[in-house]
Structure 1
Amino acid sequence: MNTMTLWHISGWEFAALAVAALLVGFSKTAVSGANTVSLAIFAAVLPARASTGVLLPLLIAADVVAVQTYRRHAHWPTLWRLFPAVAAGVVIGTVFLVWADDTVVRTSIGAILLFMAGVTVWRRRTAEAPEDPDAVVTRAGRLKARSYGVLGGFTTMVANAGGPVMSMYLLSAGFRKLGFLGTSAFFFLIVNISKLPFSAGLGLIDGRSLLLDAALVAFVLPGALLGKWAVHRINQRLFERLVIAATVVGGLQLLLK
């Protein structure tokens, strides 16, 4: 059995998955949150739950490229603040996946993404000045970090949709473009690797899914290189608008699917 027939997909469906894989790479090095479009494509071509298992190794491959590209810009105090809450969210998401069907998963994640986007836009319009990432670590931002961390862990476990949630947190914390990408790169590399045993235990990753990943991973790198080229041509304001827009589109796609 070859990779093209593993999921009984047509050539056009494989082409759609290839475009989605390219977008995965692009999102990790340019516009974080854009991979919600990839999530929707994978869920449309493959069984919704199984699609998360196929997508996870591709996300990890893109995370490795992003870490190599932006490793000097990561803000580790923010990462250490988030990880405990994210771990709790991953555990909650694993339990949720045991009983939730595809419709419940899509509706829940879509609603969370739209809520986070709305909160972020409201905060940015009402704030007198941008927050300082270092200040968030030492002030009342602890509660916000924990809330976003749990939501990020939950959404990344159940639908690989943690990117938009964490994007909203990093934007609200005042991160500039490169700091945003560097912190996000390390965050998702660590979190996505930690999800592997949970996904395998739930049967979302197996030999067939890994064979399909082997065929699709070749499209991740060109997408990452395209993102690396594009990010220096996108100003901060446009960058922030694109991240929020990608989050809204992803949330609507999940709710309306």
Structure 2
Amino acid sequence: MNFLPITDPYFYLVSVPAVLLLGVSKSGFGAGFGSLAVPLMALTVTVPQAAAILMPVLLLIDLFGITALRKDFDKALLKFMIPFGLLGTLIGALLFKLLAAPVVAGVVGVLTLLFLAQRLLFPPHADSVPPPRWLGGVLVTAGGFTSFVAHAGGPPITAYVLPLKLSPLVFAATLSWFFFFINLAKWAPYAWLGLLDWRNLATSIMLLPLAPVGVWIGVRMARRIDPKLFYRLIYLGLLLTGTKLVWDAFH
């Protein structure tokens, strides 16, 4: 067994910003930027290995995020979302070995860009009706699935939650708690699939100190930023995420 972490400097060149973006995303900016973490790391390792390395990092980031935003989440929304997210996680675990990573990346990327185009071309108004619950169930299930296979659950979840017009703080807190439960549910299936080997865990330990830094940056920005700027940054994150995932699918 290999107990030594990855030593390739190029791996850390892309992984350090990836983990920082993940921390910012989980604690302060919902999921707009967090879905870039695995694609960035996949420049040097495979998608399954990148996802496995991020598991302990995600757990620590989630713990920091829910501690910092423990009182601001929407309880009713969480009760609706978590069962669908767990269903998507189960589907992802069962289909993980049957799906090619580029296929998953392409589907998530196209859906992300379509959602972004819809929001920009047909922006919601003050009297806009929130999306129906059935659509929310479909999108949250899709988010649980893509979260399992590539930690890219943000775009489908954001597609449902963003039109609900939550405040930036409630938006960030609700998604932090949601992904805490979803990421916790991934541990047993990841172990069952043989992804949590000693080398990946040792590499995770090398990246763990970056987790609180990203969370600290994200929480401070969420508490201070203007809501209009907040959502513009969300859109920018979705654009970058969608473009990167589609690029990966075709290359």
1:159 equivalent to 2:157? Answer no
Q: After TM superposition, give the deviation of residue 38 of structure 1 in Å.
A: 1.7
Query: Is contact 1:130–1:173 with CA below 8 Å preserved after alignment?
Result: no
Q: After TM superposition, give the deviation of residue 56 of structure 1 in Å.
A: 2.2
Q: Deviations over 1:78-124 (max 9, x none)?
A: 1111122222211222233121122212212212222333344456x
CA distance, structure 1, for counterparts of residue 28 and residue 154 of structure 2: 12
Query: Is contact 2:11–2:41 with CA below 8 Å preserved after alignment?
Result: no
Q: After TM superposition, give the deviation of residue 15 of structure 1 in Å.
A: 3.1
1:142 equivalent to 2:137? Answer no
2:109 equivalent in structure 1 = 110
Q: How many corresponding residue pairs?
A: 246
Counterpart AA for 1:170: V
Specify every segment of 5 or more residues in structure 2 that has no aligned partner in the other structure, as ranges. Answer: none
TM-score, normalising length: structure 2: 0.90
2:69 equivalent in structure 1 = 70
1:17 equivalent in structure 2 = 15
CA distance, structure 1, for counterparts of residue 119 and residue 56 of structure 2: 29
What's the secondary structure of 2:209's corresponding residue?
A: helix
1:241 equivalent to 2:232? Answer yes
1:192 equivalent to 2:183? Answer yes
Equivalence map 1:13-92=2 (5 Å): 13-32=11-30, 33-92=32-91
Counterpart AA for 1:84: P
Q: Deviations over 1:210-229 (max 9, x none)?
A: 11111101011111112222
CA distance, structure 2, for counterparts of residue 222 and residue 179 of structure 1: 21
CA distance, structure 2, for counterparts of residue 47 and residue 10 of structure 1: 14
Distance 1:238 1:14, change over 3 A: same
What's the secondary structure of 1:152's corresponding residue?
A: helix
What's the secondary structure of 1:73's corresponding residue?
A: coil
Name the % identity: 24
CA distance, structure 2, for counterparts of residue 73 and residue 113 of structure 1: 26
What's the secondary structure of 1:107's corresponding residue?
A: helix
Residue in structure 1 matching 2:162, options 161, 171, 186: 171
CA distance, structure 2, for counterparts of residue 78 and residue 115 of structure 1: 24
Q: After TM superposition, give the deviation of residue 248 of structure 1 in Å.
A: 1.9
1:227 equivalent to 2:218? Answer yes
CA distance, structure 1, for counterparts of residue 221 and residue 79 of structure 2: 29
- What is the RMSD computed on CA atoms of the aligned residues? 2.0
Q: Deviations over 1:181-228 (max 9, x none)?
A: 111111010110011111121122222111111110101111111222
CA distance, structure 1, for counterparts of residue 189 and residue 144 of structure 2: 12
Specify every segment of 5 or more residues in structure 1 that has no aligned partner in the other structure, as ranges. Answer: none
User: When you count helix as a share of all residues, which structure comes out higher?
Assistant: 1
CA distance, structure 1, for counterparts of residue 128 and residue 52 of structure 2: 37
TM-score, normalising length: structure 1: 0.88
1:94 equivalent in structure 2 = 93
CA distance, structure 1, for counterparts of residue 242 and residue 15 of structure 2: 20
Residue in structure 2 matching 1:250, options 241, 244, 247: 241
